Structure 1
Amino acid sequence: MIKNKLTYYVMLALLFAYGCSNTKYLPEGDMLYVGGEVEVKDSVMPRKERKAMEKVMKGLLRPKPNSGFLGLRPKLYIYNLAGEPKKDSGFRHWLRTKVGEPPVLFSQVDLDYNADILQNYAENKGYFKVRTAADSTSRHKRAKAIYTVTPKQRYTIREVKFPGDSAATEIDSTVASIRRRSRLKKGQPYDLDVIKEERERIDQRLKNRGYFYFSPDYILVQVDSTVGNHQVDLIVKVKDETPERAKRVYKIGDIFIYPNYSIANAKDTLLTATDSIEKYKDFTIIDPQHTFRPIIYDRTMFFRKGDIYSRRDHNLSLNRLVNLGTFKFVKNEFRPSDSIDGVLDTYYYLTPLPRKSIRFEVLGKTNSANYNGTEASVNWSNRNAFRAAELLSLSVFGGAEIQASGQNKGYNVYRVGGEASIVWPRFITPIKIQDSSAFVPRTRALVSYEYQNRARLYSLNSFRAQFGYLWKDNIRTEHNLNPFDVNYVSPATVTQEYRDQITAADSLNDGTGEALRKVIDKQLIFGPTYSYTYTNTAQKRKKHTFYYKGSLDVAGTIAGLGTGADAKTKEPEQILGVAFSQFVKTEQDFRYYLKLGDNSQLANRIIIGVGVPYGNSTELPFIRQFFIGGTNSLRAFRARSIGPGTYRPETNPNGFLPDQSGDLKLEMNTEYRAKLFSVVHGALFVDAGNIWLWNKNDDKQGSQFTSKFYEQLAVGTGAGLRFDLSFLILRLDLAFPLRKPWLPEGQRWVIDDIDFGSKYWRRENLVFNLAIGYPF
Structure 2
Amino acid sequence: MNNNHLVSFLFFAMLASSCSNTRFLPEGELLYTGAIVTVEGKETSKKENKALKTALGEVVRPKPNSSILGLRPKLYIYNLAGTPKKEKGWRYWLKTKVGEAPVLYSQVDLEYNKNVLQNFTENNGYFNTKTAADSTRHGKKATAEYLVKPAKQYKIRAVKFPVDSAVISSAVRNTRRRSLLKKEEGYSLNTIKEERIRIDSRLKEKGFFYFNPDYLKVQVDSTVADHQVDLIVKIKEEAPKLAEIPYKINKIIVYPNYSISSDSLKISIDTITKYNDLTIIDPENLFKPRIFDRALYFKKGDLYNRTDHNLSLNRLVNLGTFKFVKNQFKVSDTLGNYLDAYYYLTPLPKKSLRMELLAKTNSANYTGTELNLNWSNRNAFRGAELLTISAFGGVEVQVSGQNNGFNVYRVGTEANLIWPRFVSPFKLNPSSGFVPKTKATLGYEFQNRTNLYSLQTFKGSFGYLWKENERKEHLLNVTEITYASPQNITNLYHEQIANNPSLEKVVEKQLLFGPSYSYTYTNTLQTRKKNTFYYKASLDLVGNIAGLVSGANIRKGDTIKLFDVPFSQFIKIEQDFRHYLKLGKESQLASRIIAGAGFTYGNSNEMPFIKQFFIGGTNSLRAFRARSLGPGSFDGAAANTGTFLADQSGDLKLEFNTEYRTKIYGLVKGALFLDAGNIWLLNENPDKPGAKFSKKFLNELAVGVGAGLRFDFSFLILRTDLAFPLRKPYLPNGDRWVLDQISLGNSAWRKENLVFNLAIGYPF
Q: TM-score scaled to structure 1, two decimals?
A: 0.94
- Contact 2:501 / 2:687 at 8 angstroms: preserved in 1? no
1:111-260 residue pairs with structure 2 within 5 A?
A: 111-164=110-163, 167-260=164-257
Name the CA distance, whole Å, in 2 between partners of 1:398 and 1:661: 27
721-730 or 572-581, which deviates more: 572-581
Matched with 1:762 is 750
Matched with 2:511 is 524
1:601 aligns with 2:596: no
**1:604-651 C-alpha deviation (Å, 9 max, x unpaired):** 111111222222222321111111111111111111111111111335
3-state SS of the aligned residue for 2:264? helix
- Contact 1:375 / 1:398 at 8 angstroms: preserved in 2? yes
**1:385-416 C-alpha deviation (Å, 9 max, x unpaired):** 10010011111111122357875344322211
3-state SS of the aligned residue for 2:621? coil
Gaps of 5+ in 2: none
Identity across matched positions, percent: 61
476-485 or 573-582, which deviates more: 573-582
Which of 261, 264, 267 is the matching residue for 1:264? 261
Residue type matched to 1:392 in 2?
Answer: L
1:465 aligns with 2:460: yes
Q: CA deviation at 1:138?
A: 2.9
Matched with 1:294 is 289
Matched with 2:652 is 664
1:645 aligns with 2:632: yes
Q: CA deviation at 1:572?
A: 3.2
Matched with 2:440 is 445
Matched with 1:495 is 490
Matched with 1:10 is 9
Q: CA deviation at 1:663?
A: 1.0
Q: CA deviation at 1:85?
A: 4.1
Q: CA deviation at 1:332?
A: 0.7
Matched with 2:521 is 534
Q: CA deviation at 1:362?
A: 1.5
Instruction: Flag the 1:519–1:336 CA change in 2: closer, same or farther, 3 A.
Output: same
- Contact 2:356 / 2:372 at 8 angstroms: preserved in 1? yes
**1:723-773 C-alpha deviation (Å, 9 max, x unpaired):** 111111111111111111111112111222222222222221111111111
Q: CA deviation at 1:135?
A: 3.0
**1:666-705 C-alpha deviation (Å, 9 max, x unpaired):** 1111111111111111111111111111222233211112
3-state SS of the aligned residue for 1:494? coil
Name the CA distance, whole Å, in 1 between partners of 2:725 and 2:43: 51
1:390 aligns with 2:377: no
Name the CA distance, whole Å, in 2 between partners of 1:371 and 1:439: 36
Q: CA deviation at 1:308?
A: 2.0
Instruction: Flag the 1:454–1:85 CA change in 2: closer, same or farther, 3 A.
Output: closer
1:712 aligns with 2:694: no
**1:558-607 C-alpha deviation (Å, 9 max, x unpaired):** 22222333333335333332222222211111111111111111111111
1:753 aligns with 2:753: no
1:737 aligns with 2:732: no
Residue type matched to 1:239 in 2?
Answer: K
- Contact 1:274 / 1:286 at 8 angstroms: preserved in 2? no
1:497-516 residue pairs with structure 2 within 5 A?
A: 497-503=492-498, 505=499, 512-514=500-502, 516=503
3-state SS of the aligned residue for 1:291? coil
Residue type matched to 2:117 in 1?
Answer: L
Name the CA distance, whole Å, in 2 between partners of 1:498 and 1:606: 35
3-state SS of the aligned residue for 2:198? helix
Q: CA deviation at 1:49?
A: 5.8
Q: CA deviation at 1:140?
A: 3.3
Matched with 1:509 is none
Instruction: Flag the 1:472–1:744 CA change in 2: closer, same or farther, 3 A.
Output: same
3-state SS of the aligned residue for 2:554? coil
- Contact 2:328 / 2:341 at 8 angstroms: preserved in 1? yes
Matched with 1:621 is 608
Name the CA distance, whole Å, in 2 between partners of 1:400 and 1:348: 47
Name the CA distance, whole Å, in 1 between partners of 2:590 and 2:49: 28
Q: CA deviation at 1:10?
A: 2.4
Q: CA deviation at 1:154?
A: 2.6
3-state SS of the aligned residue for 1:18? helix
Name the CA distance, whole Å, in 1 between partners of 2:56 and 2:75: 25
**1:335-392 C-alpha deviation (Å, 9 max, x unpaired):** 2222333222221110001111111111233568664422111111111010010011
The total of aligned residue pairs comes to: 763
Name the CA distance, whole Å, in 1 between partners of 2:247 and 2:274: 23
Name the CA distance, whole Å, in 2 between partners of 1:89 and 1:582: 63
Name the CA distance, whole Å, in 2 between partners of 1:136 and 1:642: 63
Matched with 2:418 is 423
3-state SS of the aligned residue for 1:339? coil
Instruction: Flag the 1:745–1:91 CA change in 2: closer, same or farther, 3 A.
Output: closer
- Contact 2:684 / 2:692 at 8 angstroms: preserved in 1? yes
1:484 aligns with 2:490: no
Instruction: Flag the 1:568–1:51 CA change in 2: closer, same or farther, 3 A.
Output: farther
Name the CA distance, whole Å, in 2 between partners of 1:405 and 1:212: 62
Q: CA deviation at 1:532?
A: 0.6
3-state SS of the aligned residue for 2:518? strand
- Contact 2:531 / 2:579 at 8 angstroms: preserved in 1? yes
Q: CA deviation at 1:242?
A: 1.0
3-state SS of the aligned residue for 1:227? strand
Which of 569, 573, 579 is the matching residue for 1:582? 569
Instruction: Flag the 1:89–1:774 CA change in 2: closer, same or farther, 3 A.
Output: closer
Matched with 2:106 is 107
- Contact 2:363 / 2:620 at 8 angstroms: preserved in 1? no
Name the CA distance, whole Å, in 1 between partners of 2:678 and 2:758: 22
- Contact 2:364 / 2:618 at 8 angstroms: preserved in 1? no
Q: CA deviation at 1:155?
A: 2.5
Matched with 1:353 is 348
Residue type matched to 2:265 in 1?
Answer: L
Residue type matched to 2:79 in 1?
Answer: N
Q: CA deviation at 1:247?
A: 0.7
Name the CA distance, whole Å, in 2 between partners of 1:388 and 1:297: 9
3-state SS of the aligned residue for 2:223? coil
Q: CA deviation at 1:177?
A: 1.7
CA root-mean-square deviation: 2.2
Name the CA distance, whole Å, in 2 between partners of 1:346 and 1:677: 51
- Contact 1:367 / 1:639 at 8 angstroms: preserved in 2? no
Name the CA distance, whole Å, in 2 between partners of 1:51 and 1:452: 64
**1:47-68 C-alpha deviation (Å, 9 max, x unpaired):** 6665444333222111111122
Name the CA distance, whole Å, in 2 between partners of 1:669 and 1:5: 36
Which of 687, 693, 697 is the matching residue for 1:699? 687
- Contact 1:367 / 1:770 at 8 angstroms: preserved in 2? no
Matched with 1:553 is 540
3-state SS of the aligned residue for 1:236? strand
3-state SS of the aligned residue for 1:17? helix
97-106 or 4-13, which deviates more: 4-13
Instruction: Flag the 1:303–1:242 CA change in 2: closer, same or farther, 3 A.
Output: same
Q: CA deviation at 1:27?
A: 2.8
Q: CA deviation at 1:298?
A: 0.5
Gaps of 5+ in 1: 506-511
681-690 or 358-367, which deviates more: 358-367
